Amino acid sequence: MEQLWLPPAMERRLRGAAYSENTIGLSKAKVLMFSDMVLKIQPEAPWADREAAILEWLAGRIPAPELIEYEKCDGMSYLLMTRIYGRMACDDVLLEQPELLVARLAEALHMLWNVDISSCPVIRDMDTELAEARYRVENGMVEIERTEPETFGAGGFQSPEELLVWLENNKPPYDPVLSHGDFCLPNIFFTEEGIGGLIDLGDSGVGDRWRDIALCHRSLRHNVDGTFGRIRRGVNPDALFDALGVTPDKEKLRWYLLLDELF
């Protein structure tokens, strides 16, 4: 380890091991990839604590990284976990086989919905998320430049405050399941056989079924419409609804995508 400070116990465990830095995530976390482990370093935060807690609870329930060690030191948190193998769902190989990709994504969502949530230690229901959204709005933490162009301004909401009040006044009915919380393609891994594992679980917990459907649908769209640079024809994000066996709930899709604009 050069130029990277680690808490002493982790330093002892990782000293000399080769790693590369992963820059795919959008958060401010630093992610170091070792041959069979991954170290996620980020400023101390409730979601970092929640990720460690839910990884422990998920062990044996769904394929996800195993927690090896979680430490906090001088304002930073260090989460060491096992490495998940396979291809990210946004890998070219999968985007070039859209029918298979959509079927696999639906399989991953069904797997989450089949988990018994009665002992889940984390709740991510609408009121929990709205309270966090309110804190972010009141403290000027919403990054408008990272939102969809139509959300704010002409034809959209005037401000994050106005959007928050609309969300608070238009809460859709609640259908709780185990929700990943950031069900976008780089957080879902597939192997040749099926689901390799789900990662980036800091917002996971008991939440509404449509929270993940909305983000999965948007992520599929953004991976083919040029948002991330590449336009791909032949991928229809709406195929996800058929694969899931659900009728699109336009109201919930909109509510969850708008909520995500405040995070």
Ligand X SMILES: Nc1ncnc2c1ncn2[C@@H]1O[C@H](COP(=O)(O)OP(=O)(O)O)[C@@H](O)[C@H]1O
The answer to whether the CB of 167 falls within 8 A of the CB of 133 is yes
Binding mask 20-39 for ligand X (x = CB under 6 A): --x-xxxx-x-x------x-
- Please, which residue, 200 or 249, has the CB nearer to ligand X? 200
Closest CA to 184 of 210, 217, 208, 209: 217
For the CB of residue 234, give the shortest distance to ligand X in the complex, in Å: 24
Candidate list 42, 77, 187, 223; residue touching Mg ion; CB under 5 A? 187
Question: In 10 A of CB 82, how many CB atoms?
Answer: 16
| Max CA distance (Å), the chain | 56
CA distances from 9 to 49, 69, 129, 246 (A): 19, 9, 35, 48
Span interacting with Mg ion, options 7-15, 91-99, 146-154, 185-193, rule CB under 5 A? 185-193
Task: Say how far apart CA 202 and CA 204 lie, in whole Å.
Answer: 6
Candidate list 10, 48, 53, 84; residue touching ligand X; CB under 6 A? 84
Q: Measured at CB, which residue is nearest to ligand X?
A: 25
- Please, which residue, 147 or 187, has the CB nearer to ligand X? 187
- Give residues in contact with ligand X (CB under 6 A): 22, 24-27, 29, 31, 38, 40, 65, 81, 83-84, 88, 186-187, 199-200
